[in-house]
Structure 1
Amino acid sequence: MFGSTYGNTLKISTWGESHGKALGVVVDGCPAGLSLCEEDIQVFLDRRKPGQSAFTTQRNEGDLVEILSGVFEGKTTGTPISMIVRNKEQRSKDYSEIANYYRPGHADYTFDEKFGFRDYRGGGRSSGRETIGRVAAGAIASKILNQLGISITTYSKSIGNVEIDYNKLDKDNILKDTLYMPDKEASAKAQELLKEKIADTDSVGGIIECVVKNMPAGVGEPVFEKLDANLAKAVMSIGAVKGVEIGDGFAVASACGSENNDNFKIENDRIVKSTNHAGGILGGISDGSDIVLRAAVKPTPSIAKTQSTVNKSNEEIEISIHGRHDPIIVPRAVVVVESMVALTLVDMLFMSITSKMDDIIDFFKK
């Protein structure tokens, strides 16, 4: 299958299906000497695993990772790092009835059209469980960024029509919160909204916001390998994401140039911007200010509310989908967005090492 590999210098290849024996990822291009153990990966996987609250699927998976290669005596060897997470609690019979019809909002129809065949058990490769490999790889990329002093903060900005108040933003609340919101009051309102939607056999979507601090200026390319273009591709490749914006995003369409332009100034003998409407990227290249990215996540398509569709006999039917599904995708997708951003940043940082002859001379001529 084409399209299961991402990256240029730091490459990942994810594999496996929702109801297969296991899922995993191969990471190639990670430098030797990075301290790495399974606990480093598990911290990230625990943020996306099911069964964390009433607002996530109750599929009872521990999602325990095993590192199969590329690490020796606690450090990366520079060779491919292979990781595996075994499926323990798949219930394929829950999906047997959908084999002959197409679920609204899912990839059932398009898979059949492309391959003439589909794994109907949980969606196969289009299942959200495919993101296990992305998150495991993202944990490695995040460790690399941490050693460079680059940090990423990602959270639920909105759920349904409930949005955080930036004046009440508490970053310490993100990892403590059921919905990964940095605003406790907004989270309480969002939880009430979700209870209403669950009672109504419906679902909602939301927006995930990602802020990158201390990204150096000069990373990215000016044409086809733009930093913002690659970030958009990385995040849009997540199945539930239907839109990505950077900086002011779509708001720039109604702004004037005088409002949208970020003026430059000198601060502590450095060139900085007075504002950050561009979201940290100019001309496809990082400008040294915070990179701000937002992802629009669609409502969970698997709902028990009656929907109209067609079956393989071209008959129009009505269905109600049952089983163990997330009433909202956003909270578990927060770490997936963060992982894809981290992987892209590391890949672009590695590519930028050869941008200047002076840097090459400094590295090799010691």
Structure 2
Amino acid sequence: MYGSTFGNILKISTWGESHGAGLGVVVDGCPAGLPLSEEDVQRYLNRRKPGQSRYATPRREEDAAEILSGVFEGKTTGTPISMMIRNKDQRSRDYSEIAGYYRPGHADYNYDQKYGFRDYRGGGRSSGRETIGRVAAGAIASKILEQLGITLSTYTLSIGPVAIDKGQFDETAIWENPFYMPDKAAALKAEEYLKTCMKDHNSSGGMIECIIKNVPGGLGEPAFEKLDANLGKAIFSIGAVKAVEIGDGLQAAEATGLTNNDPYACDTKGSVRKLSNHAGGITGGISDGCNTDIILRAAIKPTPSIAAPQQTVNRDGENIEITIKGRHDPVIVPRAVVVVESMAALVIADALLGSMTSRMDKIIKFFR
């Protein structure tokens, strides 16, 4: 299996399965001298770990980060950083009967088609638990960005039909409800909606929004390494994501040139500014570095593992009806918030390192 490595200069390779001994990541290309501790990584892992509310899987995992290499006396050494998170609460027996049939909405059938073999315990590499390595690596990328004043704010924009009211946006509320919604009233409505889904043995999808502030201009390339394209690839690589938007996204298809273009203007200090941000901070695949944030959104599908009866087929080609057992999230969105943020941070950090060689004058200035 190839395809477990991501990035150009700041590279990550994730490994492990949902019901194996553990999962982890190797981060290569991180500059030396970055302050880093297991506590830094743990803060990110705590945002995605299971069992935090009745709206997440009751699987109990500490998701404790172990840094095995690449850090000495509290700082990165410039060598590969290896991190491991051990599995401690697997119940593989919950998945034993899955070996004989294909779950709707999962990659079971596709795995058999590709490999002729699959790890049916929780989905193996296609499990959402694979994202642990991404989040651990994202914690490192975020620390790199913090050194440059670049910040990410990521939250739940909607759950099912319940969307936040941007007029009631309250960033502090993100940390005060189990859905990471910046609107207390919307969070209460989402809770009632999810109670109905759970009563019906059903699940819900939703939308996540990520705002990246203070990104300098010039990140990204004009052809195959466009910043928005790499953000799109990174976010789409998250298993539950079915759509990604940058800036106005789909609304741009209904706009005109006059309403979609972002006019430029100079302020009193002679700095170029944009008067709007329909492009979401990226034009021509390159960050503009004006006063505009990078804005992206990810559409998350409903949890495919539901207890309601569903039709499928078994490996003998027979039509059957199933009800899926085990411990599953009624909504993936809240735990995916930090995954989206982590992948976005990795792309921006990688693009920063890549842009250091884009101009000869900067190279000369650095080495002289």
**Same fold (TM > 0.5):** yes
For residue 338 of structure 2, what is the aligned residue in structure 1? Answer: 335
For residue 354 of structure 1, what is the aligned residue in structure 2? Answer: 357
Runs of 4+ in 1 over 2 A off after TM superposition: none
For residue 98 of structure 2, what is the aligned residue in structure 1? Answer: 98
- Residue 57 in 1 paired to residue 57 in 2? yes
- Residue 305 in 1 paired to residue 308 in 2? yes
* Alpha-carbon offset, residue 176 of structure 1: 2.4
- Count of residues in Structure 1 that have an aligned counterpart in Structure 2: 365
* Alpha-carbon offset, residue 175 of structure 1: 2.0
- Residue 45 in 1 paired to residue 50 in 2? no
Query: Unpaired segments of 5 or more residues in structure 2?
Result: none
Which secondary structure state, in structure 1, belongs to the residue aligned with residue 212 of structure 2? strand
1:144-203 CA distances to partner (integer Å, 9 max, x unpaired)?
000100000000000000000011111111122210000000000001000000000000
Distance in 2 between the 1:358 and 1:126 partners? Answer: 45
Which secondary structure state, in structure 2, belongs to the residue aligned with residue 88 of structure 1? coil
Which secondary structure state, in structure 1, belongs to the residue aligned with residue 223 of structure 2? coil
- Residue 286 in 1 paired to residue 291 in 2? no
What TM-score, normalized by structure 2, do the two folds share?
Answer: 0.99
* Alpha-carbon offset, residue 322 of structure 1: 1.6
Aligned Cα root-mean-square deviation (Å): 0.5
Distance in 1 between the 2:345 and 2:327 partners? Answer: 30
Spell out the pairing of 1:1-366 with structure 2 (5 A cutoff). 1-267=1-267, 268-288=269-289, 289-365=292-368
Which secondary structure state, in structure 2, belongs to the residue aligned with residue 32 of structure 1? coil
Distance in 1 between the 2:173 and 2:143 partners? Answer: 22
The one-letter amino acid paired with 1:320 is T
Distance in 1 between the 2:8 and 2:254 partners? Answer: 35
What TM-score, normalized by structure 1, do the two folds share?
Answer: 0.99
The one-letter amino acid paired with 1:358 is D
The one-letter amino acid paired with 2:139 is A
* Alpha-carbon offset, residue 228 of structure 1: 0.1
The one-letter amino acid paired with 1:75 is K
The one-letter amino acid paired with 1:278 is A
1:24-62 CA distances to partner (integer Å, 9 max, x unpaired)?
000000000000000000000000000000000000001
Distance in 1 between the 2:37 and 2:316 partners? Answer: 51
Distance in 1 between the 2:200 and 2:159 partners? Answer: 17
The one-letter amino acid paired with 2:312 is T
